[in-house]
């Protein structure tokens, strides 16, 4: 009870800082974008650094577990479970060297400071969930661009946030399209635990004292011929890495 009462003023403070960060970095992104990809990417990396550390105000800690090094100039298809919006900044910060780009719903392409600008101009792709044909075409073109530049795709095969520790069934259509057009990419499984707890009461107040954990599994190669079998095993690996 005391923790929840304390969460109200801390959540107000957090949202004030969070909003200020997004507005400031929306402007900084627009400036750095004029100087090319790399300056803009550095700006986005710093944005996500501050977003993660802003969570300290509500007692949230992020633990990143990757006991191996990733190859340089290697593209990855990062496959993760999805518990909340708070999954995104840690992926972008801790895996920044892989140049992670997202498949996002088109509604996020406008109206959200910093987020919308980066999704539209930072190499991610916006899809219309109500138009599967358009989405498949967009994902394939997205994958082709990443394959040429050795950048990485992030995909949440559940399709939406689970909002708890239980995963939804993985939908593999988008993954299969990426595997088809990114033959040199490796699959990188990622298990995310406890981020749903931050918003266990909804968007307000935010829960305090959460420890979010991200566990990266060793990358695996994947050919189109054995894609389904590989993805089934990867789903099991990701789910097994989610802490209760």
pLDDT by residue (tens digit) across 184-217? 999 999 999 999 999 999 999 999 999 999 999 9
pLDDT on residue 52:
98
Percent above pLDDT 70 for the chain: 100
pLDDT on residue 162:
76
Looking at the predicted structure, is the pLDDT value of residue 237 above 90?
yes
Q: What is the set of domains in the chain, with CATH numbers?
A: 2-240 (3.40.1130.10)
C-alpha 50/C-alpha 53 separation (Å) is 5
Query: What is the rounded average pLDDT for all residues in the chain?
Result: 94
C-alpha 113/C-alpha 153 separation (Å) is 22
Looking at the predicted structure, is the pLDDT value of residue 1 above 90?
no
Contacts of 99 (CB under 8 A, 6+ apart): 41, 123, 149, 150, 151, 152
Question: Which range among 2-6, 98-102, 151-155, 172-176 shows the weakest confidence by mean pLDDT?
Answer: 2-6
Q: How confident is the model at residue 133 (pLDDT cuts 50, 70, 90)?
A: confident
């Amino acid at each position: 009870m005391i923790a929840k009462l304390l969460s109200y003023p801390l959540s107000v403070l957090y949202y004030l800082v969070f909003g200020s960060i997004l507005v400031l970095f929306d402007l900084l992104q627009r400036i750095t974008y004029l100087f090319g990809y790399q300056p803009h990417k550095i700006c986005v990396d710093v944005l996500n650094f501050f977003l993660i550390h802003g969570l300290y105000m509500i007692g949230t800690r992020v633990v990143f577990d990757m006991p191996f090094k990733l190859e340089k100039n290697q593209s990855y298809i990062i496959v993760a479970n999805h518990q909340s919006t708070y999954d995104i900044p840690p992926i972008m910060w801790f895996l920044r060297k892989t140049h992670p780009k997202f498949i996002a719903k088109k509604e996020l392409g406008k109206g959200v400071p910093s987020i919308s600008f980066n999704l539209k101009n930072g190499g991610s792709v916006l899809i219309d969930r109500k138009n599967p044909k358009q989405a498949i075409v967009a994902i394939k073109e997205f994958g082709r661009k990443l394959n040429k530049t050795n950048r990485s795709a992030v995909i949440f095969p559940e399709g939406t946030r689970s909002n708890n520790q239980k995963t939804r069934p993985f939908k593999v259509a988008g993954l299969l399209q990426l595997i088809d057009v990114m033959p040199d990419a490796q699959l990188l499984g990622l298990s995310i635990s406890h981020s749903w707890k931050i918003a266990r009461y909804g968007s307000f107040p935010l829960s305090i004292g959460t420890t979010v954990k991200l566990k990266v599994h060793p990358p695996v190669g994947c050919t189109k011929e054995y894609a389904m079998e590989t993805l089934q095993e990867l789903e099991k690996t990701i789910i097994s890495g989610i802490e209760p």
